[in-house]
Structure 1
């Protein structure tokens, strides 16, 4: 992945995203759609995984067959909303190692505050995929990646559902080596740091909280 930002314009992704944006979509449906869209986004973010071969026996003959090379992927969820994307990716990559970064955004400064950090070992040997549905100001995402790099991660990718131009710019400035995969680059952030047109607060819509 050489581009800093990849927008996945597949028709299924865009259709499901439209349903998620609608304000009357139920919590149950929103959660299911997020899981489904995570499958499709995971296809893109894992497109260039390193490959090797393994000699196997099919019912007809031996063959050298392709396999993913190296240690298991590390999937890092930025709590709490990241768990919706995480669940969908784990459907496809069930053997991945999983970590969590707990950050909340100070409502006055919009700066991230850490409250939890637990990640797999040997991050320096793993491809690390960080997931959070919303890339808004980019402050929390940049802070989470700072922590992961301090923990040893070297090959990091960021996966989100929606991105704001401000968040993309912040991430490119802080972590130009981390490619971003998203379903949509939206228009802007409002005065409260929410993505417009967006879909509201992803965590609240996933879990039915306010």
Structure 2
């Protein structure tokens, strides 16, 4: 773990990730595992949320009780595969505001192409968590963070399932103020920009497409 990268080594996270990596894991099981692991990763990425207190009545007495402070956080899915992580995080934080950044990777240049952008208002006053299962080349992630900063976000965290060293370095260079939480830092990228050993294309495995 560094200030910029937090690899979550919790046994449940690592066990579920291994099941997701297996090539014979079905779409339905893959989808359920991603939902479960996203909640565990969300627990880690929200560990230091700002707190306040409020006077409440328990069945026994009145007390000062801890509550989350500030505006509701913003959860931003980097389409399309980000939706698989977002669903699980929303179960943990149902009050979160939700936004979407639509990017696809040009298979020739490996550069991101934007096709959609819709985010909550007042991003400058919210913790913004961007989610995308794979941090591979880092190009799409950097582009998404660029767009979020242009929209006013100043407190951003990035949540992914797998990261490659190349993607982590690219993100650190472009956005050193954005910490990354992931379940694994894999070995490398192949010549097509896929993470190795990885788990294949997260979007295809999540939605059953090719």
Structure 2 unaligned runs (5+)? Answer: none
- Shift, 1:144, TM fit: 0.2
Per-residue deviation at 1:197? Answer: 0.1
- Partners of 2:2 and 2:97 in 1: how far apart? 25
Q: TM-score, normalised by structure 2?
A: 0.99
Matches within 5 A, 1:30-179: 30-179=30-179
Deviation at 1:90, TM superposition (A): 0.2
CA distance in 1 between counterparts of 2:123 and 2:2 reads 21
Equivalenced residues, count: 210
**CA deviation after TM superposition for structure 1 residue 87, in Å:** 0.1
Alpha-carbon separation, structure 2, partners of 1:48 and 1:134: 24
Runs of 4+ off more than 3 Å: none
The CA deviation at 1:3 is 1.0
Distance in 2 between the 1:201 and 1:149 partners?
A: 27
Displacement of 1:2? 7.0
Q: Deviations over 1:33-54 (max 9, x none)?
A: 0000001000000001000001
TM-score normalised per structure 1:
0.99
Distance 2:176 2:202 in 1: 26
The alignment yields a C-alpha RMSD, in angstroms, of: 0.9
1:50-97 alpha-carbon deviations (Å, 9 max, x no partner): 000010000011101000100001000000000000000000100100
Structure 1 residues without counterparts, runs of 5 or longer: none
Alignment deviations for residues 8-49 of structure 1 (CA, whole Å, 9 cap, x no partner): 000000000000000000000000000000010000000010
- Structure-2 separation of matches of 1:88 and 1:137: 25
Question: Which secondary structure state, in structure 1, belongs to the residue aligned with residue 78 of structure 2?
Answer: strand
Look up the match of 2:13.
13
Output the CA distance in 1 between the equivalents of 2:173 and 2:123.
23
| d(CA) in 2 for partners of 1:115, 1:35 | 25
Q: Distance in 2 between matches of 1:144 and 1:51?
A: 28
Say which SS state the counterpart of residue 14 (structure 1) adopts.
helix
Report Cα offsets for 1:129-163 as digits up to 9, x if no partner. Answer: 00000000000000000000000000000000000
